[in-house]
Amino acid sequence: MSQARVERQPVSGGNMLLVMVGLGMAFLLFMAMLGLKTNPGPIYGESNMLYVALVFYAGAGALYMGFGVTGIERYVKLASVATSIGWIANTVAAAHRWYEAGRPPFSNLYEMLLSFVWTVALLTLIAEKGYKVKIIGSVTMPLAVVSVILMQLMPSEVRPLVPALQSTWLHVHVSLAMLSYAACAVSFALAMMFLIQDRMKTETFQVLTASGMVGVFASMLIRFHSGALAVTSYDISRHSEIFNDQNERVLVAIPDLGWLVLLVLISALIPVILYFVARVQKNDNLHDASTKAMFVSIVLQVVMVAAFAVRVKNSIYPALNADGVAPTALAGSPFILAGMIGSIFAGLLYLLLLWRRSDLERMLPPADVLDGVTYKTIGVAFPLLTLMIATGAYWANQAWGSYWSWDPKETWAAITWLVYAGYLHARITHGMRGRWAAYFAICGFVVVIFTFFGVTYLLPGLHAYGSNG
Amino acid sequence: MNFFRHKFFRFFASVRTGIFLLLTVILLSAVGTVILQRPITDPVEIQRAYSPSTLQLLDRLQLTDIYHAWYFVTLLGLVILSIIFVSIDRWPNAWRFYSRPYRFAEPHFRASLPTRTVIPVPSADGALDAAERAFKKCGIPVEREVSGNDVGLYSERSRIAEFAVYFVHASLIFLLLGYLLDLQVGYRGTMALNEGETTNHYTIRRGATEIDRTLPFSIRCDGADWDSYKDADGRDTGMPKRYWSKLVVVKNGQDVRKKEIIVNDPLTYAGVRFYQSGMDKGNKLGKVSLQVNIPGAASPQSVELIPNQAAKVGDMTIAIARFVPEYYIQDGEVFTKSETPRNPAMQFTVSKAGTQYPVWIFMDRSGQAIEKNTGVQLTVTGGKLSTLTVLQVSYQPGQFLIFPGVLLMVAGLMMVLLMAHTRHWAVVVNDPKVGPAIWIGGTSNRNKIRFQQKFEELVAAIKTEVKAGSSINKKTTTPELAKV
């Protein structure tokens, strides 16, 4: 009798989550229906479909997370149904945009995110159905949701292409980039799961997560201007950034927000410092302190995002590199926003590990399977990376007569390629396995992130065509 | 042959050297993305970014043009050397695998192969047949191999996969050689020409200086302009949609090639490619509209003139002779004050009965003039300055190594990642411990985990076949056994 009760308990708790997710999705869809009349265009139009995709992805994400915490199999089934519906809506949205524009949707950041989300959702379904890696949705679906939300903030109208971008090779290049970067992201997630199964210490995950956070907020500190935070100006009515006489993007200074960034950076640095102090002094008590510091940092980051959103949203601030004032909006700072949300998301995953490690270990495939799948994913990503660089070179050769001009984006793509080439060499000829292979895969993805975001945001470059700075 | 034992060869053939070289390439490439680079960045911008002393230091260390610095090029050369030496070093092994396949498992080989199993059989007779059936069930092609008195099974797949790495390495050499070739003999320059103009001059940039060079043929521009996107009501939005230039290659005074180029679609002649890179207002006359009054004619006639083309009006022809963007007059002669079209003057030629009469029109005066000999009155009613088209001139013969190299690399990668050279051997033996048995062994050069799984499946299949075979065929004869 008592055993039966134990078995029933998670099921009833499980129904609770299902009801909540179902009601939440129904509510959001109902609200959207009410607003449908004011929204022109066909019902299967891009913005409606994208909204449907968002709702279903969010539901799927919640269910995958629920599976991560409770381990109830039923959640995964429903979650993959929700992911499939969301993916179909996503496909319709992309197809509608393609039809409207008369060209594949890969030309600006908005469209690239659209195809990135599409690829991520597809890969999630493949990983789940084909390789039985069920937990992966709890990582990828929130990523998809964040991307769709970012897309809602960005200018979405179909814009004509400047002449340099009118090339089939460019579309091939960008879609290959999205595919290979998505494969790299999946290999990163798999390598992390391997490290969990390989009994890497939770403290080590903590210091990795905290270092990532430090990276995000340290790169934001580049925009620190005597206490203020400089963000790109943005004119909502024209859906465009504002440029000064020298054709540079106008930056506006939001007072005091810079100090908050500094504070968050310090709060993320504390766990890192405590970890190394604990290592040197061999004092395990410090780990508790650093976990508390980590917690404080995550809370501060949530405050930071809220403060950022409130202060940036459609406001006017003094301009830094032009006279007078200029408006800005959330759409002007997609990279900052993505960085902060990504950092919080990493923090939440860390908390999941901290609190539910034994459940996670039970649900994940064994370490050697994860190791093998990581290798396979990189085995898929690497030829795609090669083709991506090759088609990019071919396009550049057709557009301005040089297949390789060492512009930072190109150089960093080559560095990414070399890192993964190193991984494959070490693996194939020297039989590298396990821990080191996982570290290598993680390093590779860090370089990918830098190539994708860092080069545009941190380094000067030619590749400013499709970006939003 | 001694060379291959020499320290120099061993040093560059070692994996450690290879890794060190690659890390150095990564490091220097990354440095180049942090420091502003000369050919890409505007000189003014660089001067604004660094203090004069820092810039001097960076220039002296070639850090502002790191990818063309002697040490970076040398490094790429060393990478090529290392790849070649590593390949030579490994070649004998790969070639041995390929050219002289080891088909029969001798006792010493059977003892040393890591993946092997001994399956006891009730009798040696028919054991090889059972094993052969199991191979076929597992989808592994197999053949019988006779060595002296012994018979064994041998199976081999994708022998060519031994060379996969060589394809990838060869492709890397293609890429690097192509790049170095372009660095030495290739160039990229800029050519700017007005509509109607012919030139063979272009400029290249080396560091902060511009160098003027000439081509062995000339380019004439017969027209250039840009179209912009129209909005829903058909009005210009001002967003450029298409830049185009009509180019003609002129060699020895003859037009040899014609093409209208647009962005992404260049003109190629003798390996030199001309790309549409920019467009500007020129300082030449593009087109002029004239009103011509011939004495005695009923009404004035309108003509449109473009440079190098005459128009017929009645019994006369009119052509543009000269265009001066900003003029001044000294001693009754017209001179050019500047190339900026602020105050233009135009000279036309009126030809009648084989005689040419020049006539000047100054735009700041009335914009009209009467040619005294013929009495023809010319009035400029409109005109357009020429468009200056800016072309990228590029000569990169190395691309004929680069793009085949890329294809070779993709093919090689597919081979590396998807193909494995797998071999299996089976021999019937008389094992001292278990008696008659099938010895089976196998090896794969890649993807060993998957191979191990397949091998276990094969062993299980042989066991089933042996069991099935022994229940049917109980008859025994003296077996001919291979010695263990």
Question: Which residues 4-23 of B have a C-beta within 8 angstroms of A?
Answer: 15, 19, 22
Cβ distance B392 to A398 less than 8 Å, yes or no, reads no
Cβ distance A401 to B410 less than 8 Å, yes or no, reads no
Contacts of A388 in chain B (CB under 8 A): none
Cβ distance B266 to A398 less than 8 Å, yes or no, reads yes
Task: Return all residues near B304 (Cβ < 8 A) that are at least 6 apart.
Answer: B287, B288, B289, B290, B311
- Span B160-210, pLDDT tens digits: 888 888 899 999 999 999 999 998 888 888 898 888 888 999 998 776 678
Nearest-neighbour CA in chain B from A63: distance (Å): 34
Would you state the pLDDT for residue B483? Answer: 44
Mean pLDDT of A387-409: 85
Chain B residue with CA closest to A390: the answer is B406
Nearest-neighbour CA in chain A from B287: distance (Å): 26
Identify residue B79 by its one-letter amino acid code. Answer: V
Element (H, E) at A265: helix A257-281
Is residue B31 within 8 angstroms of chain A, CB to CB? no
Task: Return all residues near A7 (Cβ < 8 A) that are at least 6 apart.
Answer: none
| Confidence category of residue A6, pLDDT binned at 50, 70, 90 | very low
Cβ distance A401 to B229 less than 8 Å, yes or no, reads no
Contacts of A390 in chain B (CB under 8 A): 403, 406, 410
Would you state the pLDDT for residue B226? Answer: 81
CA distance B269 to A305: 57
Would you state the pLDDT for residue B1? Answer: 54
Would you state the pLDDT for residue B250? Answer: 93
ipTM above 0.85, yes or no: no
- Yes or no: say if A63 and A75 are a contact pair by the CB < 8 Å rule: yes
- Determine the angle formed by the axes of helices A137-153 and A73-101, rounding to 10 degrees: 30
The domain locations on chain A are 10-160, 201-362, 365-469
CA distance A206 to A101: 45
Going along chain B from its start, the domains and CATH numbers come out as: 2-98 (no CATH), 101-158+420-472 (3.30.310.50), 185-282+390-404 (no CATH), 284-386 (no CATH)
Residue pairs between chains A and B whose CB atoms are closer than 8 Å: 101
Element (H, E) at A360: helix A334-363
Token readout for A274 is 């405590």
Is residue B370 within 8 angstroms of chain A, CB to CB? no
- Model's pTM, two decimal places? 0.77
Cβ distance B239 to A402 less than 8 Å, yes or no, reads no
- pLDDT of A8 > 50? The answer is no
- Yes or no: say if B379 and B290 are a contact pair by the CB < 8 Å rule: yes
Is residue B167 within 8 angstroms of chain A, CB to CB? no
Is residue A458 within 8 angstroms of chain B, CB to CB? no
Would you state the pLDDT for residue A160? Answer: 58
CA distance B34 to B115: 51
Contacts of A386 in chain B (CB under 8 A): 406, 409-410, 413
Contacts of B416 in chain A (CB under 8 A): 424, 428
For testing contact with chain A, the best of B76, B264, B395 (most A CBs within 10 A): B264
Nearest residue to B475 (alpha-carbon basis) of B125, B197, B88, B9: B125
Q: A41-45, A277-281, B106-110, B228-232: which range is least confident on average?
A: A41-45
Nearest CB to B29; choose among A402, A414, A459: A414
Contacts of A368 in chain B (CB under 8 A): 449
Is residue B359 within 8 angstroms of chain A, CB to CB? no
Cβ distance A379 to B399 less than 8 Å, yes or no, reads no
Nearest-neighbour CA in chain B from A171: distance (Å): 13
Mean pLDDT of A134-157: 75
Is residue B409 within 8 angstroms of chain A, CB to CB? yes
Cβ distance B25 to A418 less than 8 Å, yes or no, reads yes
CA distance A371 to A383: 19
| Confidence category of residue A465, pLDDT binned at 50, 70, 90 | very low
Task: Return all residues near A99 (Cβ < 8 A) that are at least 6 apart.
Answer: none
Mean pLDDT of A97-121: 78
- Strands B368-370 and A325-328, bridge-based pairing: unpaired
Contacts of A463 in chain B (CB under 8 A): none
Cβ distance B37 to A406 less than 8 Å, yes or no, reads yes
Nearest CB to A411; choose among B32, B239, B406: B32
pLDDT along chain B (484 residues), means of 10: 75 86 92 80 76 86 87 92 89 83 81 83 78 83 81 85 87 92 89 87 81 91 82 74 89 90 86 86 81 82 83 85 88 85 87 87 84 86 85 89 91 86 85 82 80 86 79 48 44
| Percent of chain A whose predicted confidence (pLDDT) is above 70 | 86
Mean pLDDT of A274-291: 86
Cα A66 to Cα A52, A71, A82, A356, A408, distances in angstroms: 21, 7, 14, 12, 41
Is residue B241 within 8 angstroms of chain A, CB to CB? yes
